[in-house]
């Protein structure tokens, strides 16, 4: 299965979507945190490190690519299209102010998934028209993890996407154990969490609790 099919099939199936955030990982390396995520059953990993030097990101992503491939997990890289190509990532995730989807497709080819962050109905509709493989929906709630983030889009936008957009999607932004059930009730099946996973001591325990909510609350 090529990367594009792997990513879309995993997002459609639902579950937890893990992201790296080394500065919010209690001193643990991305490799350590991702290994724990994989061992705990997460099968989608996005590498999102905005401030590291490219050489360090390249070496790190080579290791993470090998780790994810070992267990059949999808490996997605945020923004860095050249890095995604160099390490053989399954997908690349871009934002509204990055290269347009058509330009990204010209670079990555037909076998790499393209995810696009969206924050409003017009952006979701445009993502369909542009040929994105999946969209990020958020930030649902207030979040301080990502710099220069827009205001929360709330559950109303999640309702819109769940009910009217024919693309796989990932809910993201400020989602925690205490509000995950509410997000699932509004149609999310694949949910991205950052510090709720990376910033706890007991990552396996946290992932188990989150997975239980997803399983029990999904219709």
Give me the active site residues, please: 48, 117, 146
Contact 167, 135 (CB under 8 A): yes
In this structure, the strands spanning 91-94 and 113-118 are: parallel
Give the list of residues 6+ apart from residue 107 with CB closer than 8 angstroms, or none.
Answer: 81, 85, 99
Look-up of token digits 């396996």: 204
Instruction: Tell me, rounded to whole angstroms, the distance of Cα 84 from its chain centroid.
Output: 14
Q: Which residue spans within the chain are E strands per DSSP?
A: 15-19, 44-47, 74-78, 91-94, 113-118, 134-137, 169-171, 190-193
Say how far apart CA 137 and CA 74 lie, in whole Å: 19
Q: What is the b/e burial string over 28-42, where b = at least 16 CB atoms within 10 angstroms of the residue's CB?
A: eebeebbbbbbebeb
Contact 168, 196 (CB under 8 A): no
Longest Cα separation, the chain: 44
Contact 45, 64 (CB under 8 A): yes
């Amino acid at each position: 299965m090529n990367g594009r099919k792997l990513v879309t099939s995993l997002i459609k199936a639902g579950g937890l979507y893990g992201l790296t955030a080394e500065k919010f990982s209690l001193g643990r390396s991305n490799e350590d945190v991702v290994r724990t995520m994989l061992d705990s059953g997460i099968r989608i990993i996005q590498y999102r490190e905005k401030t590291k030097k490219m050489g360090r990101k390249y070496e790190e992503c080579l290791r993470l690519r090998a780790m994810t491939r070992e267990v059949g997990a999808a490996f997605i890289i945020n923004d860095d299209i050249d890095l995604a190509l160099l390490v053989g990532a399954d997908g690349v995730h871009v934002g509204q102010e990055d290269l347009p989807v058509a330009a990204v497709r010209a670079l990555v080819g037909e076998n790499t998934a393209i995810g696009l962050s969206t924050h409003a109905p017009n952006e979701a509709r445009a993502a369909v028209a542009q040929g994105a493989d999946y969209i990020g929906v958020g930030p649902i709630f207030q979040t301080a993890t990502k710099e220069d983030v827009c205001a929360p889009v709330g559950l109303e936008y999640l309702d819109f996407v769940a009910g009217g957009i024919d693309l796989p999607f990932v809910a993201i932004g400020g989602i925690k154990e205490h509000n995950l059930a509410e997000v699932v009730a509004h149609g999310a099946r694949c949910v991205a969490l950052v510090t709720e996973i990376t910033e706890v001591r007991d990552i396996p325990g946290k992932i188990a609790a989150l997975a239980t909510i997803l399983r029990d609350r999904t219709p």
